[in-house]
Amino acid sequence: MVLLPHAVVGAAIGVAVKNPLWSFLIGIVSHHLMDSFPHLDYGSRLIKKSGPRFLGHKPKIKSDSPRKFDETFWKILFVDFSVAWTIFLWIFYRLPEDLWLSVFFGALGALFPDVLSFYPPFVKAVTRKYKWAARIAEIHSVFHWALPVKPLFWGLFWQIAFTASALVYLSRFLQ
Ligand SMILES: [Zn+2]
């Protein structure tokens, strides 16, 4: 899934758990649970036919697929990041300060598997050196059901549902 639903669900875990370490760990688990729902993702433009590995499938990649880190990728990342950043500023502004740390680590944990799976060279070096990092990256690729760009409805449905539910839950803690 894109950055926004993961980050907001991580924040909701933070206010529920009220403990930075546990929020971080449960945040990581939440990432894989959410990714196992069919969704539109940064790699969707490269996918010809989707199929999650946890159901024994393997996604088929387009033969004429665009480069992963092209201009469109960075544009989508910019919008995704900006919206998430704005929502987080608003959450922190309205949230009691004793929940900040737990919310921060919840969101960090919820985003962590994607940081490891983006595979820029420095991350590759980490996953090669540390077994735990390689294991998270492996779990990520198994519990991940990315769809092609169409059909758009199912690509967005679960991401909107997760984001909206988390925001409704968070709103109970805002001042
Ligand atoms: Zn992911």
- Centre of ligand 1 to C-alpha 109, Å, is 11
CB atoms closer than 10 angstroms to residue 85: 13
Residue 157, CB-side half-sphere exposure with 13 Å CA sphere: 9
Which pLDDT score, from 0 to 100, does residue 17 have?
97
- Centre of ligand 1 to C-alpha 36, Å, is 9
- Centre of ligand 1 to C-alpha 169, Å, is 22
- Centre of ligand 1 to C-alpha 84, Å, is 16
- Centre of ligand 1 to C-alpha 133, Å, is 14
Structure tokens at 30: 């939440």
**Interval 28-45: pLDDT, tens:** 999 999 999 999 998 888
- Centre of ligand 1 to C-alpha 94, Å, is 28
Instruction: Tell me the backbone φ, ψ of residue 67, rounded to 5 degrees.
Output: -65, 145
Rounded-to-10 torsion of CA 165, 166, 168, 169: 120
Which pLDDT score, from 0 to 100, does residue 132 have?
85
Q: Which residue would you say has higher pLDDT here, 58 or 11?
A: 11
Using a cut of 0.75, tell me whether the model's pTM lies above it. yes
- Centre of ligand 1 to C-alpha 91, Å, is 23
- Centre of ligand 1 to C-alpha 174, Å, is 28
For the chain, domain boundaries: 3-61+68-171
As a whole number of angstroms, the distance between CA 133 and CA 147 comes to 25
Which pLDDT score, from 0 to 100, does residue 70 have?
83
Rounded to an integer, the average pLDDT of 86-95 is 95
pLDDT band at 6 (very low <50, low <70, confident <90, very high): very high
- Centre of ligand 1 to C-alpha 159, Å, is 12
**Interval 51-87: pLDDT, tens:** 888 888 887 888 776 677 788 889 999 999 999 999 9
- Centre of ligand 1 to C-alpha 175, Å, is 31
As a whole number of angstroms, the distance between CA 33 and CA 43 comes to 18
Which pLDDT score, from 0 to 100, does residue 81 have?
95
According to DSSP, the residues that pair with 49 across neighbouring strands are 60
- Centre of ligand 1 to C-alpha 117, Å, is 7
Rounded to an integer, the average pLDDT of 11-23 is 97
Q: For residue 23, give every residue at least 6 positions away whose Cβ sits within 8 Å of its Cβ, in sequence order, or none.
A: 10, 13, 14, 17, 102, 103, 105, 106, 109
**Interval 112-143: pLDDT, tens:** 998 877 766 667 777 788 888 888 888 888 99
As a whole number of angstroms, the distance between CA 113 and CA 104 comes to 16
